[in-house]
Amino acid sequence: MPHSSSAPSVALSNHESGRLFLRSREVFPDGTTRATVERDPIPRYILKGDGAYLIDVDGQRFLDLSNNFTTLIHGHGFAPVVDAVARLLHDGTCFSNPTVHEIDLAELLVDRIPAIEQIRFVNTGTEAVMFAIKAARAFTGRSCIAKIEGAYHGSYDWAEVGQVGTPATWGSPDAPIAVPSYAGMPISVAEEAVILRFNDAEGARRQIAAAADRLACVLLDLMPSRIGLISPDPDFIAAVVETARQHGILVICDEVLNLRQSYHGASARFGIQPDLIAAGKIIGGGFPIGAIGGSRHVMSVFDGSAGRAKLAQGGTFSANPVSMVAGRVSMEAMTEVAFARLEQMGDRLRGALAAAVDRHKAHFIISGAASLFRIHAKQAVPRDYREAYPTPDQAATMKAMSVFFRDQGIFLPNGGTACLSTAVSERDIDKIADVFDRYLSTSDSSSQRNC
Ligand SMILES: Cc1ncc(COP(=O)(O)O)c(C=O)c1O
């Protein structure tokens, strides 16, 4: 049931989340301060997190499968991070001078991620992608970028264009339209973006070659969440990398989300050596962070030691010690063994969900890798954004499913990407599988209809 601020609902004042939402609607347009929070019909306001669980202000407890959009790899209140940050707070939270903490986290990431020889820290994944694109421009002297239709990379205009196409606007499959993401987006942004279809190797070769003398970079997320958390075809990756290399175009891997796929990150997992990586989320241990890393040669654009850098990069809170310490402590606990255990749990969960689909002969499909998973109200795993795009019935099914999960005490992001943390237990995995099985039992007839 939609709410408008001109018609407050009496029901809203029956519980604490409702009362908070009534206050929120006075001070935030639409009642929230970020677009992506769940609301059905109102957001659940959180009192506290507790490991794999959330407790809302009405005292309800939920298994949290969002982990702040895949950020919290250890769940909520991970004791080593809490202790390290608590100790640090007494010494100050931000300085205009460097600290040892930034070197510690940088060394850890350089050691682990093969494509990263040098790194710079910023505060969000959006900034990391933005500076990676700017670095590619500064390095090549070209302004255009190629990117994947529908993939999410945060809110920098060139990273955002072509992300919200619909069947009515996305144009022909051979030349996807750079659909603006907001009214008034400068036309020049669309003119400077070439939109590729995920997993279309031939299209990628053709489009990158056609725009080669204008392209600074190809921006890739190897398993884009909004395209359904699906694996890239090796042919597609090869086509992008080979064509980019032929023309001196840099390859940027956005691993803001997918770095959590392995100890060495996502590019290493898929066997590619990008020129630049944008990182974020898990490397901040629950605090704001972003990072741009790459080869020394490319990263030299940030080097201002002999005068002005080709690309100046600052940021009042960049490399603040709180994010640096939290990130290091969190990542240190993510040993190869910890990554392997998370992956095993992810495999077990995806297997159990797929088995439930088979048992019920339901029109659902499961995708994902490592600690990430996604349930689709579709018969086949999509191959690109157009196939992943839900019909209205599929979107309604996904919504009904997340409401069912919520009523059973599990917070499953509405139609989106879900993930496990090291705080999740084997019993939690059984519970997720069991709730999905029960959802399929109760919705057998409607799920058949929806696809
Ligand atoms: C792949 C990817 N890139 C970039 C971003 C933007 O990161 P942030 O929200 O920290 O700005 C996100 C956020 O979800 C993401 O998933």
pLDDT tens digits for range 340-391:
999 999 999 999 999 999 999 999 999 999 999 999 999 999 999 999 999 9
b/e map of 12-39 (b: 16 or more CB within 10 Å)? beebebbebbbebbeeeeebbeeeeebe
Tell me which of 3.90.1720.10, 3.90.1150.10, 3.40.50.1100, 1.10.645.10 is the CATH number of domain 44-73+335-450. Answer: 3.90.1150.10
pLDDT at residue 55 greater than cutoff 70: yes
Q: Which residues have a Cβ under 8 Å from the Cβ of 326 and sit 6 or more positions away? A: 81, 84, 85, 284, 285, 286, 287
Average pLDDT, the chain: 94
Q: Is the CB of 414 under 6 A from ligand 1?
A: no
**Inter-residue contact 388 to 230 (CB < 8 Å):** yes
The more confidently predicted of residues 6 and 194 is 194
pLDDT in tens, 391-413: 999 999 999 999 999 999 999 99
Q: Is the CB of 129 under 6 A from ligand 1?
A: yes
pLDDT in tens, 226-274: 999 999 999 999 999 999 999 999 999 999 999 999 999 999 999 999 9
What distance in angstroms lies between residue 163's CA and the mean position of ligand 1's atoms?
13
pLDDT at residue 169 greater than cutoff 60: yes
Distance CA 331, CA 319 (A): 16
Q: Is the CB of 256 under 6 A from ligand 1?
A: yes
Residue 3: what pLDDT? 38
- Token pair, residue 370, equals 């490592």
pLDDT in tens, 119-148: 999 999 999 999 999 999 999 999 999 999
Residue 21: what pLDDT? 95
- Token pair, residue 402, equals 């997340």
Tell how strand 410-411 and strand 365-369 pair up: unpaired
Q: Which residues have a Cβ under 8 Å from the Cβ of 77 and sit 6 or more positions away? A: 48, 49, 50, 51
pLDDT in tens, 91-105: 999 999 999 999 999
- Token pair, residue 248, equals 């001196």
Pocket test for ligand 1, best of 153, 258, 259 (most atoms within 8 A of CB): 153
Pocket test for ligand 1, best of 66, 256, 267, 323 (most atoms within 8 A of CB): 256
Q: Provide the percentage of residues in the chain whose pLDDT is more than 70.
A: 95
Residue 36: what pLDDT? 82
Largest CA distance in the chain: 69
**Inter-residue contact 136 to 217 (CB < 8 Å):** yes
Q: Phi then psi for 142, rounded to 5 degrees?
A: -115, 155
Q: Is the CB of 267 under 6 A from ligand 1?
A: no
Long-range pairs for 175-182: beta carbons < 8 A, 24 or more residues apart:
175/207, 176/149, 181/157
Is the previous residue joined to 98 through a cis bond, with omega within 30 degrees of 0? no
Among protein residues, the one with the nearest Cα to ligand 1's atom 9 is 125
Q: Is the CB of 221 under 6 A from ligand 1?
A: yes
Residue 4: what pLDDT? 39
The mean pLDDT value for 178-206 works out to 97
Report angle CA 150, 154, 160 to the nearest 5 degrees.
50
- Would the pTM of this model clear 0.75, i.e. be above it? yes
Provide the CATH number for the domain formed by 79-333 in this structure. Answer: 3.40.640.10
The more confidently predicted of residues 5 and 16 is 16
> Helix axis angle, 426-442 relative to 392-407, nearest 10°?
130
**Inter-residue contact 260 to 282 (CB < 8 Å):** yes
Among protein residues, the one with the nearest Cα to ligand 1's atom 7 is 125
Local confidence band at 444 (pLDDT 50, 70, 90 cut-offs): low
Local confidence band at 443 (pLDDT 50, 70, 90 cut-offs): confident
The more confidently predicted of residues 448 and 107 is 107
**Please, where in the chain does CATH 3.40.640.10 lie?**
79-333
Tell how strand 250-254 and strand 276-280 pair up: parallel
Q: Which residues have a Cβ under 8 Å from the Cβ of 343 and sit 6 or more positions away? A: 262, 369, 370, 371
Q: In 3D, which of 38, 72, 31, 34 has the Cα closest to residue 410?
A: 38
**Please, where in the chain does CATH 3.90.1150.10 lie?**
44-73+335-450
What distance in angstroms lies between residue 440's CA and the mean position of ligand 1's atoms?
32
